């Protein structure tokens, strides 16, 4: 072996040793990242934007891997993807969102004269075991009169809960109700004009023959502009169950 051959062999060995060193470094870095991140879990995410009240199909869902430490207990696992097919979006959802329990629900059964409507209410009064689908609740609004006077009023009585969403960082949770159209209008105004919406359980109040799903009234101060919403007083007889 001449001098040039020995030099070439030396360079080749250095290159091989350098490549091995880089490979070991990469493996070490990957192992360190995995140790920091922890185990991963396959979960369900959305491929496309989903509009509220739209039913989910197979093409709308994707399975991705996410570190378990970054997941909440409400995250839907990949094994449960089939249970989401056909469910209805409670609110508009963006593509790429990780599916959480409460984002989608079954198609509700509405009584004649009822509409389905969702509103963001105070999470403390709606999450956990306090309010569940099928419950009858009062909707209470806190708001300011035009002169700045604070008011609290029960605007809807015995509203039937269809679905309770997951709490958000804003401490608001989407709750879906079955309401007569006038009460739905009042709830829409409340979500826009009230400072805060809370749910109250009727407790031991006397049970009417039929649930009201109605309310006392929308505050007169909300009847402004071009909206022209009349004061609402809904009796149980207005909804045939």
The CATH number for 65's domain is: 3.90.1210.10
Residue 11 is part of which domain span? 1-37
158 and 49 in a single domain? The answer is no
165 and 54 in a single domain? The answer is no
| Total count of domains within the chain | 3
The structure's pTM equals 0.50
114 and 221 in a single domain? The answer is yes
118 and 156 in a single domain? The answer is yes
22 and 49 in a single domain? The answer is no
128 and 210 in a single domain? The answer is yes
Q: Which of 28-42, 98-112, 178-192 has the highest mean pLDDT?
A: 178-192
Query: Residues with Cβ < 8 Å from 239, sequence gap 6 or more?
Result: 111, 112, 113, 114, 180, 210, 211, 212, 213, 214
pLDDT mean across residues, the chain: 77
135 and 214 in a single domain? The answer is yes
pLDDT of residue 60: 92
Looking at per-residue pLDDT, the higher value among 192 and 42 belongs to: 42
Residue 31 has pLDDT above 80, yes or no: no
Rounded Cα gap, residues 93 and 45, in angstroms: 11
159 and 213 in a single domain? The answer is yes
pLDDT of residue 221: 57
55 and 131 in a single domain? The answer is no
Q: Which of 67-71, 203-207, 220-224 has the lowest mean pLDDT?
A: 220-224
113 and 208 in a single domain? The answer is yes
Q: Which of 81, 104, 127 marks a domain boundary? A: 104
120 and 226 in a single domain? The answer is yes
Query: Residues with Cβ < 8 Å from 176, sequence gap 6 or more?
Result: 90, 105, 108, 116, 117, 118, 161, 162, 163, 164, 165
60 and 28 in a single domain? The answer is no
Looking at per-residue pLDDT, the higher value among 45 and 167 belongs to: 45
């Amino acid at each position: 072996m001449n001098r040039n051959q020995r030099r070439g062999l030396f360079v080749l060995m250095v290159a091989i040793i350098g490549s091995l060193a880089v490979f070991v470094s990469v493996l070490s870095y990957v192992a360190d990242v995995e140790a920091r991140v922890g185990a991963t879990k396959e979960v369900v995410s959305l491929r496309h934007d989903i509009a509220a009240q739209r039913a989910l199909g197979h093409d709308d869902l994707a399975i991705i891997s996410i570190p378990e430490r970054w997941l909440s207990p409400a995250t839907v696992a990949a094994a449960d993807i089939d249970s989401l097919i056909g469910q209805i979006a409670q609110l508009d959802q963006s593509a790429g969102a990780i599916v959480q329990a409460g984002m989608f629900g079954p198609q509700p059964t509405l009584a004649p004269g009822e509409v389905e409507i969702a509103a963001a209410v105070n999470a403390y009064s709606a999450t956990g075991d306090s309010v569940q689908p099928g419950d009858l609740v009062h909707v209470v609004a806190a708001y300011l009169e035009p002169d700045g006077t604070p008011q609290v009023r029960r605007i809807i009585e015995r509203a039937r809960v269809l679905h309770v969403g997951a709490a958000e960082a804003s401490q608001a949770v989407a709750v879906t109700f079955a309401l007569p159209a006038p009460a739905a209008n009042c709830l829409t105004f409340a979500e826009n004009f009230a400072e805060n919406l809370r749910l109250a359980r009727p407790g031991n109040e006397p049970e009417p023959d039929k649930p009201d799903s109605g309310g006392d009234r929308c505050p007169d101060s909300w009847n402004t502009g071009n909206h022209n919403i009349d004061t609402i007083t809904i009796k149980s007889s207005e909804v045939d169950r």
